[in-house]
Amino acid sequence: MSRISEAFEKKAFVGFITAGDPCVEKTEEFIGRMIDAGTDLVEIGIPFSDPIAEGPVIQGANVRALNAGTKLEHLFGLVKNLRKKYNTPICFMTYINPVYRYGAEKFFSRCKEAGVDGIIIPDMPFEEKDEIQPFANAHGIEVISLIAPTSEERIKLIASEAQGFVYVVSSMGVTGIRSEFNTNIKDIVGEVKKHSNVPVAVGFGINTPQQAKDFSQFSDGVIVGSGIVRIVEEHGENAGDYIYGYVKAMKDAMTEK
C-alpha cells in the first residue's frame, strides 16, 4: 500500500503550503508543525511566476517565495530533510512549465530520490496526462487528477483512470477562502465514487473547522491551502504556532463525533 493510500484509511486532512515563503528553512519548520498537528498528507506548492489556479493569497506567497530566491533544487532538499523525520505522504503541486523545463525524466527521478509520493498539475488537461504520467509512474510517483464542477461527462473517464486520490474542486474559479459554496459537491463526489476506487478529497475554499467537518462527512478528506498560507502571510517567520493551532482545530473538527 502506498503512503497516499495509507493516509486515507481515515478521514484525511490535506494541508497545502507554498515552499519558500518566507524561506525554505521556515517552510520545513511549518510543515513539521502541520504534521504534528494532524496533517495526513502534505501538499507542497512549487513557486511559479504565473500560478493561474491561485487566488490572491497563494499568488502573494508565490511572489514572496520567488523573490526570496527559491529554486526547485531547494525543494528536493526540503523533502529529503522532511523524510529524515516523517513518513507522511508528500505531493508537489506545480504547473506544467517547470516540469517541462527541468525535463520530465530528470524531474521525477529527483522526486523519487527525495521521497515525493505524488504530483498535482492544475494546468495539465487530463487528455494530455500521457506526456507526464509514464515518467512519473516509472519512478513511483502518482499523478493526481482534478475534477471540477464543469467536468460533467468527463467525470467517469477521469475517475476511472485516477491514481492516488481524486482532487475534487469545490467551486468555479481560483483558490481562496470562501464562506459559501454554490455547487453540489456531494453529488459530484458521489459520481466520482461510482467510477473509482481511489479516495476522493475536496479542496478550494475550505477554511473553517465547520466547513472541514461538513465536507468530510461525504468525502474521504479535505484539502486546505489558503487558510494556512494566509497565516504565513500574517505572521511570517513566527507562523509555526499559529499553523499548529489552526490545523489541529480543523483536524479535530473532522474527527469529532
CA–CA separation, 202 vs 161, rounded Å? 18
* Mean pLDDT for the stretch of residues 6-23: 98
Say yes or no to pLDDT of 5 above 80. yes
* Mean pLDDT for the stretch of residues 203-218: 93
Q: Which bin fits 204, alpha (ψ -120 to 50), beta or left (φ > 0)?
A: left
* Percent of the chain residues past pLDDT 70, beyond the cut: 95
Check if the beta carbon of residue 126 is closer than 8 Å to that of residue 120. no
Read off the pLDDT of residues 33-60 as tens digits, 9 standing for 90 and up: 999 999 999 999 999 998 877 888 999 9
For residue 176, the model assigns a pLDDT of 43
The overall pTM is greater than 0.85? yes
Read off the pLDDT of residues 131-173 as tens digits, 9 standing for 90 and up: 999 999 999 999 999 998 877 789 999 999 999 999 999 765 4
The domain limits of the chain are 3-144+205-255
Read off the pLDDT of residues 222-233 as tens digits, 9 standing for 90 and up: 999 999 999 999
For residue 183, the model assigns a pLDDT of 65
SS (H, E, C) 67-94: HCCCCHHHHHHHHHHHHCCCCCCEEEEC
Closest by Cα among 189, 150, 183 to 166: 189
For residue 142, the model assigns a pLDDT of 98
Query: CA 96, 97, 98, 99 torsion: positive or negative?
Result: positive
CA–CA separation, 37 vs 106, rounded Å? 33
pLDDT band, residue 8 (cuts 50/70/90): very high
167's enclosing H/E stretch is: strand 166-169
Q: Would you tell me which CATH number, out of the four given (3.40.50.720, 3.30.590.10, 3.20.20.70, 3.90.226.10), belongs to the domain 3-144+205-255?
A: 3.20.20.70
Amino acid of residue 252:
D
Residue 7 CA from chain centroid, whole number: 13
